[in-house]
A and B are shown apart, each in its own frame.
Chain A
Amino acid sequence: MTGVFRVPTRSLHSSTVLARGGPLRMDGWWVRDHRPARLPQSAEERKKSALRYGLRPEDYKTYDPDDYKQSTGDYPDLGTTTFAHKDPNEAWSDRRFRRNWAEPVPLHYERYRPDRITYTGIESEESHDPKQVFIGLSIMVAIMVGITYHFMSTAPNKWTWKNPMMPKQYPYDFYRAWPWNDPRKFPIVNYTFESANAEDDHHHGHGHH
């Protein structure tokens, strides 16, 4: 949420920033180690910077220093070349990212990576092919029906998880009395694991009956 508000807040102050010569010329805007290099002034410096970024001097172009959102000192403006722009059949050094060794990296390179879903919006149509959707759903529903059938079946020896526990004991046979008979007519004798002549169980001590 803070990020939503930060940009317009900065925009409000852009006139102040520009009046003082832009962020590159303003003290305290950048952390010292992150501060971009000074823009090349002379032709000699332009040539030096171009070589530094692997470009011919005539291709070398910097961002507008007053564009404080993009200006990155002497880093070159390489334009926008997306992954989709690049020829898949070329012998790239890195075929996955379609990059050559030491190829200059555009400033917004991360926005146009190969894992981006679509560049044109046309590819997304392919996933809505009704036939494909039907096949996918059929497989999913078949698997779910199979799982449900297995776990709903009452077959005693089927494989499932199971607790090592006998059914709960009741003093009356409610099943036998159901529906209209009186369960008191069908008492069940259940046993604890204590011997018959042992003293009273301490567990049953906290009742007050």
Chain B
Amino acid sequence: MGTKLSVGLEQRFNPDVSPRTDRPPTFDPLAGFPEGRKERKMVATWEEMDQWNLNIGQRDYCAHYLIDHLRCQKENAPFAGYKCEEARHHWNTCHYEDSLLRIKEFERERRLLKRKQRKEEAAKIAATQ
């Protein structure tokens, strides 16, 4: 509760440590990961997505769940709402996990911005001494 407000207030009064959410993270994605990071895997192929007529917004990392869902809807035409509950749930869960990842990326960006600010201040103090 109050997250939206506190994030907005930080953006207004402390923009230097507030991540810009209109662009991807600005730091090296592998910085601070000595073992590296696993790459996100795109399962649906481009041809498949063309075949199912997905628009640009739908061609994300959850596209294969969407295709499963569309296929299920086509097969169970009048009863798709009931029969495709599972497929729909998988697609929704994938998007939920995608949001969690985006929130984690925000927090990483924010902490790295704060770290950068701390380092700059320390460097400034060291320069005066």
Contacts and interface: CB of A to CB of B under 8 A. Distances in A.
Contact of A169 (B7, B9, B46, B101): B101
Interface stretch (B35-43, B76-84, B115-123): B35-43
Contact of A161 (B5, B104, B105): B5
B21 A167 contact: yes
Given A167-B21, A169-B61, A171-B61, A196 B7 contact: no
Contacts of A79: none
B90 A206 contact: yes
A194 B7 contact: no
B64 A191 contact: no
A191 B40 contact: yes
Given A161-B8, A162-B8, A171-B42, A195 B37 contact: yes
A193 B20 contact: no
Contacts of A196: 33, 35-39
A165 B107 CA distance: 8
Contacts of A172: 59
A156 B15 contact: yes
A14 B101 CA distance: 77
Interface string A149-183: 00000001111111111111111101000000001
- Interface SS of chain A: helix, strand, loop or mixed? loop
Contacts of A169: 24, 40, 60-61, 98, 101-102
Contacts of B38: 191-192, 194-196, 198, 201
A209 B49 CA distance: 14
A192 B21 contact: no
Contacts of A207: 43, 64-65, 68, 90
A6 interface: no
Contact of B35 (A156, A195, A208): A195
B37 A166 contact: no
Given A157-B11, A161-B4, A165-B103, A204 B90 contact: no
A162 B90 CA distance: 27
Contacts of B23: 167
Nearest to B37: A191
A128 B99 CA distance: 53
Contact of A170 (B18, B60, B97, B99): B60
B30 interface: yes
A189 interface: yes
B58 to A, nearest CB: 10
